[in-house]
Amino acid sequence: MAVDPIRDRRVQYETDGLDVADVDADPVVQWRRWHQDALDAGLVEPNAMTLATVDTDGVPDARIVLVRGADTDGLTFFTNYDSAKSRQLDDAPFAAATFGWLDLHRQVRVRGAVTRIPEADSDAYFATRPRASQIGAWASPQSRPIASRAELDTLVDRQSLRFADVETVPRPPHWGGWRLVPAEWEFWQGRPSRLHDRIHYRLTAGAWQMTRLAP
Ligand SMILES: Cc1cc2nc3c(=O)[nH]c(=O)nc-3n(C[C@H](O)[C@H](O)[C@H](O)COP(=O)(O)O)c2cc1C
């Protein structure tokens, strides 16, 4: 039978193992450790996480966003508050997210409640963005149908003109941050023969409980 590049692709994960004793008692500290490893390894977009939400019919949706903050308060990302994801989060304020640091044979999963961050924090982050991205945030009606690339260019030109004489582009009211506050984390390390290591954390009575899960 011919080799099928999808069905027959197999990579052995020969990386070091992961035990409860190896990971930090605080999952955010552990995430930061692995994120630093991803940075050190020169991975493309170590901040990228696939964010899953559900729509009003209970049908899941998922897309990549970039994490811009990770601390004991949770994982922060920025987007358009009128986008599909934001409307889904307004209706069902819970999400799951996955980091795939595949060159390191690592995956991190989180689940938890999602809340909007304070407006002042969105203002502060927006101010750090390049001007073209700030204009783009005003111009793009994210997730809505748009007739053509030319229409998008026209919207951008209109906003560029509008702010031409303005030194500091203000944050649009429809743009800002969300914070995913994990109640669960899972750190996955690929191992030989698909016998991978999985360390799961669950917040129980204010403390993180760690458990090993079968691969
Ligand atoms: C690498 C990468 C990073 C992205 N980062 C963001 C982000 O931080 N915020 C965002 O709104 N969209 C980001 N996007 C675009 C989203 O994946 C998505 O297309 C957009 O947010 C609209 O999603 P929605 O219609 O489900 O709301 C990113 C896409 C990729 C591939």
Q: How remote is the CA of residue 98 from the centroid of ligand 1, in Å?
A: 14
DSSP line for the chain? -PPPTTTT-----------GGGS-SSHHHHHHHHHHHHHHTT-S-TTEEEEEEE-TTS-EEEEEEEEEEEETTEEEEEEETTSHHHHHHHHS-EEEEEEEEGGGTEEEEEEEEEEEPPHHHHHHHHHHS-HHHHHHHHH--TTS--S-HHHHHHHHHHHHHHTTT-SSPPPPTTEEEEEEEEEEEEEEE--GGG--EEEEEEEETTEEEEEEE--
Domain chopping of the chain, boundaries? 20-129+172-213
Q: Across residues 82-100, what is the average pLDDT?
A: 98
Would you say residue 16 has pLDDT above 90?
no
- pLDDT value at position 168? 97
Instruction: State what percent of residues in the chain have pLDDT above 90.
Output: 88
Q: How remote is the CA of residue 213 from the centroid of ligand 1, in Å?
A: 31
Would you say residue 10 has pLDDT above 90?
no
Q: Where does the pLDDT of residue 13 fall: very low under 50, low under 70, confident under 90, or very high at 90 and above?
A: confident
As a whole number of angstroms, the distance between CA 58 and CA 66 comes to: 24
- pLDDT value at position 11? 81
Atom 10 of ligand 1, nearest CA residue = 79
Give residue-wise pLDDT tens across range 144-153. 999 999 999 9
Q: Note the CATH architecture for domain 20-129+172-213.
A: Roll (2.30)
Q: What is the pTM of this model?
A: 0.96
Per-residue burial over 47-57, b = 16 or more CB atoms within 10 Å of its CB, e = otherwise: bbbebbbbeee
Q: Rounded to whole angstroms, what are the CA distances from 38 to 22, 42, 91, 124, 211?
A: 17, 6, 34, 26, 24
- pLDDT value at position 136? 98
Beta-carbon count within 10 A of 186 CB: 19
Instruction: State what percent of residues in the chain have pLDDT above 70.
Output: 100
Catalytic residue numbers, as ranges:
194
- pLDDT value at position 92? 98
What number does the ligand 1 atom closest to the CA of 86 have? 27
How high does pLDDT run on average in the chain? 96
Q: Where does the pLDDT of residue 130 fall: very low under 50, low under 70, confident under 90, or very high at 90 and above?
A: very high
Choice from 54, 64, 80 to test ligand 1 binding pocket (greatest atom count within 8 A of CB): 64
Would you say residue 174 has pLDDT above 90?
yes
Give residue-wise pLDDT tens across range 22-52. 899 999 999 999 999 999 999 999 999 999 9
Q: How remote is the CA of residue 63 from the centroid of ligand 1, in Å?
A: 6
Ligand 1: residues whose CB is within 6 Å? 45, 48, 61, 63-66, 77-79, 83-85, 142-143
What number does the ligand 1 atom closest to the CA of 87 have? 27
DSSP line for 93-156? -EEEEEEEEGGGTEEEEEEEEEEEPPHHHHHHHHHHS-HHHHHHHHH--TTS--S-HHHHHHHH
Choice from 56, 66, 78 to test ligand 1 binding pocket (greatest atom count within 8 A of CB): 66
Q: How remote is the CA of residue 162 from the centroid of ligand 1, in Å?
A: 25
Q: Are 170 and 185 in contact (CB under 8 A)?
A: no
Q: How remote is the CA of residue 90 from the centroid of ligand 1, in Å?
A: 17
